[in-house]
A and B are shown apart, each in its own frame.
Chain A
């Protein structure tokens, strides 16, 4: 048994996603900044998506670990 790769992927994307989403939320009033992303608050939305992806990876890592334990 070696390290389950879902852990590092999950941790990294949850962290980056949460940071991007919070950053997007804080900067949502600055319309000037989001002009280049066609007036979409891309940091907020993409941050949330990355966070969801990261959490999903963490969940699957957790499930794998439980399965390995019960064996």
Chain B
């Protein structure tokens, strides 16, 4: 990755941001009087703040980088991660599920499971969730330190420890409120830091209509910018639905309608937005029931529009690369440091022996370990006698044909930001990494203290003791995260493995919730074994399926390939659908086979049919969550039709 040099102005903006988050922590310190203040923000935060934190907790830096990457690789269809992959689930959470979470006075998602079922389900959920949060924050901190290292030349270890240290300081002082406030700050940083970049990109490309023309060119000739060999219809990069309706083979994502709508839109989206404590905790911190129910609805408004900030840049990059203006190209994959010697030797060997054409390109590509563009390689070979070794290395790097999609967003920031704005954009990125860690750590310390420590290890201690434990868990959570960051740095496919495990765990969980909240016949035994076996079944499904082009192993298929999918994404969506249905079926059958030990009175407030409706008379009709949810769905529908 090409490095950039920051001016004093850029550093000043970064320092102001760090000062602001530490100042927030300091200012909140005097409000942290009880464990409820520390873990639940004393249930005192207004809805617009929890609403922005609700989506901001999910808008981590890996999300920003990944969405721009998908925007370049797959185009408009990426928006479904926001539209059908979030909005419907968020309105469902508000209208149907929030009354149980907030009304039951549960302090966490596992605690709700304990009330509705029993300690086994709670234990299973809190352990898997705690492990997931520290890994998620470790992965993200590893990515941050790597980025600072390659982009700014900072020391990897120093960056990792300093950034973690800042997070530790403000979470220790202000607890969940600190995390929520910095998430809101991060939200504004990202919106205000990225908007000028998107504006300048769109302006240079020539506006939306010209961008659409360029992307039609990309769709009919993807090889021209190295995003694939297979040609599609002209609207493949600019339509959200039309390329998908023609089947998995007609769109670059390789996903069909069922996998998208049921797999992503229903199972994965509902599993994430309705049951993941990281986001649900934000709504639980709201000041009253009405604010708690409004949290996901307020979050849904910016959520619908964020694709313009995170996916559009990727599409702009693809359009710019297609027009080839000022030699812009999607950033190439970087040749490993250790391979440079071989690459230079290969170029010299080829030039000396007079090997030409495809054979020469092959030899250099083999030395670099990446595919090469033959035209550029020919030019390098011709010029090589007059070039220094460093020049040869630089030119060969530029001739790499494989794209590093994760570098797309940075390539645009570097292209458009003069010093000053550069500091703002990079600080926005830094902010989203750090608040991602803070979000995970605050979820971790709550689950550890309430659902594992208080429930199983030390019952009936004083409130001050649990608050002390929460602070100790914060320190431990950050240290474990740093350990996970080193782990992710050591093993290249650590991230693949972990994301895979997330998939196994998240998808079946929503079936447990759906059944538990809406059917009083579901028993604790049924829920526990259904969840456990559902997760296992999805691991088996993964071991028996593979996406075309992948070798059996981490990506699946290690027990033999029974079914293959056109893309990894399709495999994930089908896996989620399968895991959900398996858990649904098993939980139902096992519940019907076992006796319900809880009485109707015990389940009041936990199950839909046994809970009295919330009186809505004191609210104007247009303030009711149901009405607002319908209005939001209407707006979302219009967006989908405009970008059909």
14 contacts between A and B (CB under 8 A): A2-B28, A2-B41, A8-B24, A11-B20, A19-B12, A20-B421, A20-B424, A23-B9, A33-B419, A36-B416, A38-B203, A42-B418, A42-B420, A50-B192
Contact: A3 with B16, CB < 8 Å? no
Q: Lowest 4 CB-CB distances: which A-B pairs, in order?
A: A43-B420, A12-B20, A2-B31, A33-B418
Chain A interface (Cβ within 8 Å of chain B)?
1-3, 5, 8-9, 11-13, 15-16, 19-20, 23-24, 27, 33-34, 36-38, 40, 42-43, 46-47, 50, 53
Contact: A37 with B416, CB < 8 Å? yes
Contact: B421 with A8, CB < 8 Å? no
Is B332 an interface residue, CB under 8 A from the partner? Answer: no
Counting contact residues on chain B (CB < 8 A from A), the size range is 20 to 34
Contact: A5 with B20, CB < 8 Å? no
**Given A11-B20, A12-B20, residue A36 in contact with residue B196 (CB < 8 A):** no
**Main SS of the interface on chain B?**
helix
Chain B interface (Cβ within 8 Å of chain A)?
9, 12-13, 16-17, 20, 23-24, 27-28, 31, 41-42, 44-45, 49, 177, 181, 184-185, 188, 192, 196, 200, 203-204, 415-421, 424
Contact: B9 with A37, CB < 8 Å? no
User: Which residues of chain B have C-beta atoms less than 8 A from A11's C-beta?
Assistant: 20
Neighbour of A43 across the interface among B27, B49, B200, B421, CB < 8 A: B421
**Given A36-B417, A38-B203, residue A16 in contact with residue B424 (CB < 8 A):** yes
User: Which residues of chain B have C-beta atoms less than 8 A from A5's C-beta?
Assistant: 49, 181, 184-185
**How distant is the Cα of A8 from the Cα of B27 in the complex, in angstroms?**
10
**How distant is the Cα of A36 from the Cα of B416 in the complex, in angstroms?**
5
User: Which residues of chain B have C-beta atoms less than 8 A from A36's C-beta?
Assistant: 415-418
Contact: B418 with A12, CB < 8 Å? no
Neighbour of A19 across the interface among B9, B45, B418, CB < 8 A: B9
**How distant is the Cα of A13 from the Cα of B16 in the complex, in angstroms?**
9
**How distant is the Cα of A49 from the Cα of B196 in the complex, in angstroms?**
11
**How distant is the Cα of A13 from the Cα of B192 in the complex, in angstroms?**
10
User: Which residues of chain B have C-beta atoms less than 8 A from A15's C-beta?
Assistant: 16
Contact: A53 with B192, CB < 8 Å? yes
**Given A2-B41, A37-B416, residue A8 in contact with residue B9 (CB < 8 A):** no
Q: How far is the CB of B185 from chain A (nearest CB, A)?
A: 6
Known: A11-B20, A12-B20, A12-B185. 13 other contacts (CB 8 A): A3-B24, A3-B177, A13-B188, A16-B13, A20-B420, A24-B420, A33-B419, A34-B418, A37-B421, A40-B200, A43-B420, A46-B196, A53-B188
**How distant is the Cα of A16 from the Cα of B28 in the complex, in angstroms?**
22
Q: Which of B27, B42, B420 has the most CB of A within 10 A?
A: B420
User: Which residues of chain B have C-beta atoms less than 8 A from A27's C-beta?
Assistant: 420
User: Which residues of chain A have C-beta atoms less than 8 A from B42's C-beta?
Assistant: 2
Q: How far is the CB of A54 from chain B (nearest CB, A)?
A: 10
Q: How far is the CB of A28 from chain B (nearest CB, A)?
A: 11
User: Which residues of chain B have C-beta atoms less than 8 A from A46's C-beta?
Assistant: 196, 421, 424
User: Which residues of chain A have C-beta atoms less than 8 A from B200's C-beta?
Assistant: 37-38, 40, 42
- Name which residue of chain B comes closest to A45, CB basis: B196
Q: How far is the CB of A68 from chain B (nearest CB, A)?
A: 13
**How distant is the Cα of A25 from the Cα of B417 in the complex, in angstroms?**
16
Q: Which of A1, A13, A37 has the most CB of B within 10 A?
A: A37
Q: How far is the CB of B296 from chain A (nearest CB, A)?
A: 19
Q: Which of B185, B204, B415, B424 has the most CB of A within 10 A?
A: B424
Q: Which of B31, B44, B421 has the most CB of A within 10 A?
A: B421
**How distant is the Cα of A43 from the Cα of B421 in the complex, in angstroms?**
6
- Name which residue of chain A comes closest to B174, CB basis: A3
**How distant is the Cα of A33 from the Cα of B49 in the complex, in angstroms?**
38
